[in-house]
Amino acid sequence: MKKTFIYFLAFYLLTTPFLRADEGMWIPLLLKKYNIKDMQAKGFKLTAEDIYSINKASMKDAVMIFGGGCTGELISDQGLLITNHHCGFGQIQSHSSVEHDYLTNGFWAMNSNEELVNKGLTVTFLERMEDVTDKVLANVTDGMTEVERQKEVAKQIKLIEVKASMSGKYKTRVKPFFYGNQYFLFVNKVYKDIRLVGAPPSAVGKFGGDTDNWMWPRHTGDFSLFRIYADKNNEPAEYSPENVPYKPKKHFPISLKGVKKGDFTLVFGYPGSTQEYITSYAVKMKMELENPNRIKIRQAKLDIINKYMRSDAGIRIKYAAKQSGVSNGWKKWIGESRGLKRLNAINKKQAFEKNISAWMNKESSRASKYGKLLPQYKEIYKELSTYELAGTYFYETYYSLDITRLISSFRLLEKLDKDAKEDDIVGVRKRLKPAIERTYKDYYQPLDKELFAKMISMYVAKMDHKFMPEELTAAKAKFKGDFEKYTEYVYKKSLFTNKDKLTAFLENYNAKSLKKLQKDPLFKLFKGFIKMYVEVVLPKTTALDTKMQGMDRLWMQAIMEFEKDKILYPDANFTLRVTYGKVDDYFPKDGVKYLPYTTLAGIIEKDNPDIYDYRVPIKLKELYKTKDYGQYGENGKMHVCFTASNHTSGGNSGSPVINADGHLIGINFDRNWEGTMSDIMYDPDMCRNISLDIRYALFIIDKYAGAGYLIDELTLIK
């Protein structure tokens, strides 16, 4: 391919000195070239090598992907890690029952024998990263179609990943940056024996609940503790009682000095996804189409789930993690929409597009290369909106249901050949049994039925006829639009709503059983939805997305050329990033100023036994009354949380917050509601990340839980 833009990219990154205040999610490998001087000017006392190095132990060796979507960090030389309570929530829930309600009462292993095994939980460490742009694009030419380009890129990525994996020793991924203008290889090591060590009760770890989620001031002790185990050679291994605590290259010292306004803060973690460079047309679709409909659907779900959770402790335990997942997105999208509206985001994007269009048209070569992009975006988003809405309703209503995911797994039976041997059936049976157990472990049918009826009703009310599965059209006519009656009918007739029937069907399955499965009303509905989505929605969205991939790549090139006096950071893509800022307050609205920290006094102020989110444990009240804070207090106060100006996103949950000396001062766990639009448009005056003060976590471990032996493992800086 022509190397013009690759050369420009290198020149651009080497010669642009201007950084935007506190905004950005920076690539650790490139800190020495592009960020470290700015970081040091803002107070950081260490070097880029202290953060990322392949030649010595560095901070990257103490930071990990926790599970599939959070960050965690090592805090001892015995494999002890800390992450958010909400990141470990699924594991805490899985070990909970009415008899052992760890969600309500907390859990603390008082020795290694009491630590709880978590099947399927992994942590992933980055060994190294490498710019492989030249290798990935080596055979790409300007004459290729977008589909041809994608195939060639995928081919090269596969070759690079296989070679770097060293016969499976490492988990490797090549990821695109700047919309496919740059590519990096990530070589990771995955540990599979991760045990629960401690978690505070939800009245601490989830204090404030959905009421305070995304909000400041905040008083949530959002942390949990796990331990990594390895084999006798310190290498990854499946669970075994013979495994020993992992000996890390690096763990974070913990500062007991606290924080004050203006202190340097570094967040090191795995932000999930941002869209900082999208056009006004994309922002408009998000604000006017995607977010309002997602919010509406999830509000309906929450109304039903919350009603049942309030009625019974067993149901509350079963649905706690699910409710949290539904609520998190619901509240985030509300805040994001409000923030974008307040920033006048569409108009700001349009003003930028007017300026860049003028720049494009000043030179014929630029006009030829970039001039048609914005008109093309306008037409594509106009066409895409209808199908995007259908996709949103498909996933948020029908496809999000527990029963749907269970049915989906049973497609494996359809894939068996009619002459399948018993060994093949046994193999599929082994794969499906866990799906049944997972579903019914945290399942309450009256709730599920009400949710099903509501979601189907909402889908039918909103969707055009071309997005309607034939089975749903027939049901609407047969039951005269009464989807509660339809739900009663299918739940009585279907195998999938009765664990015993479904298990017996699976145990006795043979080639002749397929017809029974295919006649099942819920299985037929599932196939109808999938047929509609695959034949109507997917072809259109795939074609438009493919076209836009090439356009997005060109649009990014244009922005980088147009803003050549700025260093632009790549959008988050769940790869390791550094973001730096300072402890800071903010003004959420006229006449109101929020301090950058909260204390235990605020928890006592919120205490209300009649409101579930604000129930304060008796022991915590006693510790407050006696001011028994030990070495973790500050001037007679127990600090709980603080805000800073670090640019974070989903995936940064659990990330270490590090001070100028490289010491752990907090655990990132949220953003302020007024700043949730930072995934699309960052506002330095309003965007704040919310972190747990590490001293509060230690106070809970030591004084509240009485697990002082864990404190002995830590490296404390006084």
CA 128, CA 61: separation in Å to the nearest integer? 10
> What residues contact residue 672 under an 8 Å CB cut-off, 6+ apart?
214, 215, 216, 586, 588, 643, 686, 687, 688, 690
CB 412 within 8 A of CB 431: yes
Cis preceding-peptide flag for 217 (omega within 30 of 0) = yes
Distances (CA, A) of 1 to 4, 386, 711, 712: 9, 37, 57, 58
CA gap 444, 592 in Å, rounded: 44
117-118-124 Cα angle (round to 5): 115
Q: How far apart are CA 202 and CA 621, in angstroms?
A: 15
Cα distance between residue 630 and residue 628, in whole Å: 6
User: Nearest to residue 124, comparing CAs of 277, 336, 269?
Assistant: 269
Q: Which of 658, 648, 650, 653 lies closest to 88 in space, CA to CA?
A: 653
Q: Is 395:428 a contact under the CB 8 Å cutoff?
A: no
Nearest to 668 by CA among 274, 271, 217, 225: 271
Contact of 62 with 254, CB cutoff 8 Å: no
Catalytic center residues: 86, 222, 653
How many Cα atoms within 13 Å fall on the side-chain side of residue 495?
Answer: 21
Q: Distance between alpha carbon 88 and the CA centroid of its chain, in Å?
A: 13
272: Cβ contacts below 8 Å, ≥ 6 apart: 69, 572, 573, 574, 649, 650, 651, 652
In this structure, are residues 642 and 594 in contact, taking their beta carbons and an 8 Å threshold? no
At 688, is the secondary structure helix, strand, or coil?
Answer: coil
Tokens for 232? Answer: 């006798």
